[in-house]
Amino acid sequence: MRRHVLWRTNLTTSMPMSPADLHGMWYPTVRRTLVTLSKLYRCIDKTTFQGLSQEALQMCIQSLLNAKEGITKRKASIDLSAILIHQTQLDGQLFMIKHLLILREQIAPFQADFSIRETSLDFSKFKDAAYGLVNRRSQIFSFSSNNALLQFIVEGTPQVQENFVDSKRDVDSQLKKTCEEFIHHVSDAMTEPLKTFLSRASIIINMGEDENIKGVTLRTQPFAVPEKLHDVVAETYKLIKKMVPTIHRAMSLYLANRETELILFKPIKVNIQQRFQRLTEILASHYTEEDQQIVACPRTEQVREIHQHSCEVYSQISLCNSHRLRNDTFRLDWIFC
């Protein structure tokens, strides 16, 4: 009981201290779900609480999914540029991540098992069995093994099914899914020109390795000549430098925790470096040294410097607001273990 009272005080008094709470506040269904569970926890028995909490969390997650979709659709209908459309998807994903982290953190103090067993009847075979009974009316009173009534009873009997539902695991799985969606979306948005080239280049390389197709080389393709590839690299490099601060600002606004934001951004950085590494391998295998100089592909160290510089600037901003962050911060490191 004492542990629960501490949780309740933290929910009400610590909440305004977080920049995320100051800017966006908690989504109403999240707040109402947590307040309701905190009141029910002291009033009903443990078994009843587990069943109610499971339903409440499921409905809360569904409301967050609906809100995420609404955020994306409403803002995307206003914004027309590609970068702004990417930003609307970013808003929806970060909104979802923020509130799933809140749910996961705030239900942890409850001394309850959020998994329940649901029993249901499966009537899927009943319709076919009834249809067979109607079509074989003449054999209802047959004394053979083809008795229609007997087959209806055997085949049409509802099947008992048991399903184990774990709402806490649902929160974790939805959080992991949304984080992966965010990582892939941001990685693709930052390297869209390079990603398109790598996809087309893979097709040409595979064709060149086919014995039935002769004379197909990558560097002679109109989209892959050194001059065109130089433009692709320059555009991607410029896009990364432009979007990295924007991504960090968005994560800071929604998540308001430096450690969580860096953990979430790390896989994005790895994806970008891997794509430039793949381009370097293609250049070494299919282009001459003169072509490579024209393309001017940045080295891995140069790509890393972009992220490092952006992270340093972001760190200085975060340190200025560090006194406003709560001690019970949201954690993501378990997702990428």
Using CA atoms of 176, 30, 262, 309 in order, give the dihedral in degrees to the nearest 10: 130
Two structure tokens written together for 114: 């959020």
Beta partners for 119? 162
What is the reported pLDDT for 216? Answer: 81
Residues contacting residue 119 through CB under 8 Å, at least 6 positions apart: 160, 161, 162
CA–CA distance, 121 with 40 (Å, rounded to integer): 30
Model confidence at 224, pLDDT cuts 50, 70, 90, reads: very high
Instruction: Report the share of the chain in percent with pLDDT over 70.
Output: 63
Mean pLDDT of the chain: 77
Instruction: Name the residue with higher pLDDT: 201 or 213.
Output: 201
CA–CA distance, 175 with 180 (Å, rounded to integer): 9
Question: Scanning the structure block, which residue is given the tokens 């929910």?
Answer: 11
* CA nearest neighbour of 263 among 208, 230, 311: 311
pLDDT digits (tens, 9 = 90+) for 46-102: 888 888 888 899 999 999 999 999 988 875 544 444 455 567 889 999 999 999 999
For residues 268 and 183, the answer to whether their CB atoms sit within 8 Å is yes
What is the reported pLDDT for 43? Answer: 87
Half-sphere exposure of 50 (CA within 13 A, CB side): 14
Two structure tokens written together for 76: 């995307």
CA–CA distance, 266 with 332 (Å, rounded to integer): 11
pLDDT digits (tens, 9 = 90+) for 281-328: 999 999 999 999 999 998 878 777 766 655 555 555 555 544 444 433
Report the pLDDT averaged over residues 199-224: 85
Domain ranges of the chain: 1-116, 124-157, 191-337
Two structure tokens written together for 42: 């002291």
What is the pTM assigned to this prediction? Answer: 0.73
